[in-house]
């Protein structure tokens, strides 16, 4: 894998529009000199938008796509139009080997369905899982998966998610043997569903894998930094991720109320502002944007639909890091280990 990868960007997907996508690409380009981009979408609109971003002219190529996947379009319908939509054409650039990764802020279900059909799964993997890093109190982020690709799973899926999540953590967090836990509603052995207990037994026995299985982790300990990878089904993962986002925003809103409740508290807030600004940056979802579909033969990065310029740049930077580290090959190698058992 080259150190100067090409990234295919679905320039039309997302709630914030083409301008935010292009601004995010330009920002990522300023941070990482070596990056090159396929900007996929309406050629005339992209060409017009590029006037505001001269730093992209020498390092990007426009690939015209006449249509866009709708935000509530059904996956089956999106698949039928994959040859003409910006999302479908961006995925195809990965399939052709012209791009090392693709990034989209568009419809998640359509993205997964099209990517699965076009790029196909790695050998031995039944389903892709959506993985993303979350902030913790520790030195490292924690990788969590699945975040919503699979509402129902079995023990075999969970074990595969664990192996893929650990490979991701080894590559992205530079860890030799990531600590992997299963999300559950208690830490005792008999807690949870049959398939969670079965996955725990398999992971406990799989000592040849390059990971340390640490048992169960509960929802109140996700951000403690005691584990590196948290594995769950896509329903629980999505609930946990969104509840964490919502609660952080809730506490922030209450804080804002508290700080504006009196002249005295407003003064205190102004004095503390540099410190609270650091905290705000630490928790800003745009600084943690980008969930990747693990298990595909290629890197497909989902950026949050509402991501701003910073968020898009973060997702692109993460995709580039995965491409440079050859994440797909590394996961395939680790999955090979699983079958040695």
Residues of this chain that interact with a second copy (CB under 8 A) are 72, 74, 136-137, 148, 151-152, 183, 185, 188, 190, 192-193, 218-224, 232, 234-236, 238-255, 257-259, 261-262, 264-265, 267-276, 278-279, 282-283
Instruction: Identify which of residues 40 and 130 has a Cβ nearer to a second copy in the complex.
Output: 130
Instruction: Identify which of residues 96 and 190 has a Cβ nearer to a second copy in the complex.
Output: 190
Least distance (Å) between residue 50 CB and a second copy = 34
Least distance (Å) between residue 111 CB and a second copy = 14
Instruction: Identify which of residues 2 and 247 has a Cβ nearer to a second copy in the complex.
Output: 247
Instruction: Identify which of residues 176 and 220 has a Cβ nearer to a second copy in the complex.
Output: 220
Could you tell me which of 83, 243, 57 has the C-alpha nearest to residue 148?
A: 243
Instruction: Identify which of residues 11 and 142 has a Cβ nearer to a second copy in the complex.
Output: 142
Burial class of 291 by CB neighbour count within 10 A (0 to 12, 13 to 18, 19+): buried
For residues 329 and 38, the answer to whether their CB atoms sit within 8 Å is: no
Least distance (Å) between residue 333 CB and a second copy = 32
Least distance (Å) between residue 146 CB and a second copy = 11
In the chain, where does DSSP find H-type helix?
Answer: 18-31, 43-50, 75-80, 86-95, 108-119, 155-172, 194-205, 234-259, 263-283, 309-324, 327-340
How far apart CA 109 and CA 76 sit, in angstroms, is: 10
How far apart CA 263 and CA 272 sit, in angstroms, is: 14
Least distance (Å) between residue 200 CB and a second copy = 14
Least distance (Å) between residue 82 CB and a second copy = 20
Instruction: Identify which of residues 198 and 245 has a Cβ nearer to a second copy in the complex.
Output: 245
Could you tell me which of 77, 75, 46, 76 has the C-alpha nearest to residue 62?
A: 46
Residue 6 CA neighbour count, 13 Å, CB half: 20
Residues 6+ apart with CB under 8 A from 144: 131, 132, 133, 134, 165, 222, 229, 230, 232, 237, 240, 241
């Amino acid at each position: 894998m080259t150190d100067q990868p090409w990234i295919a960007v679905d320039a039309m997907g997302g709630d914030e529009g083409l301008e935010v996508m292009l601004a995010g690409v330009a920002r990522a380009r300023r941070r990482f000199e070596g990056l090159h981009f396929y900007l996929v979408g309406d050629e005339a609109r992209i060409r017009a938008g590029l006037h505001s971003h001269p730093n992209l002219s020498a390092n990007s190529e426009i690939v015209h796509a006449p249509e866009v996947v709708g935000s509530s379009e059904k996956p089956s319908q999106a698949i039928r139009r994959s040859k003409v939509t910006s999302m479908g054409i961006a995925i195809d650039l990965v399939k052709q080997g012209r791009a090392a990764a693709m990034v989209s802020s568009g419809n998640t279900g359509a993205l997964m369905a099209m990517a699965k059909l076009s790029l196909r799964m790695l050998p031995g993997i039944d389903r892709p899982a959506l993985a993303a890093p979350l902030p913790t109190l520790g030195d490292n982020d924690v990788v969590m998966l699945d975040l919503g690709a699979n509402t129902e799973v079995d023990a075999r899926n969970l074990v595969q998610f664990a192996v893929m999540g650990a490979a991701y953590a080894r590559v992205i967090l530079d860890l030799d043997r990531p600590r992997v836990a299963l999300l559950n509603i208690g830490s005792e052995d008999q807690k949870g569903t049959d398939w969670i207990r079965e996955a725990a037994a398999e992971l406990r026995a799989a000592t040849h894998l390059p990971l340390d299985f640490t048992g169960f982790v509960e929802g109140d300990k996700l951000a403690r930094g005691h584990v590196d990878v948290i594995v769950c089904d896509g329903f629980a993962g999505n609930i946990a991720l969104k509840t964490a986002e919502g609660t952080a925003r809730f506490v922030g809103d209450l804080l804002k109320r508290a700080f504006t409740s009196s002249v005295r508290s407003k003064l205190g807030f102004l004095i503390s502002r540099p410190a609270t600004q650091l905290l705000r940056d630490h928790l800003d979802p745009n600084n943690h944007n980008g969930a990747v579909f693990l298990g595909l033969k290629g890197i497909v990065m989902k950026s949050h639909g509402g991501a701003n310029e910073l968020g898009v740049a973060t997702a692109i930077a993460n995709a580039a890091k995965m491409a440079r580290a050859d994440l797909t090959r590394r996961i395939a190698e680790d999955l090979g280990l699983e079958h040695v058992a």
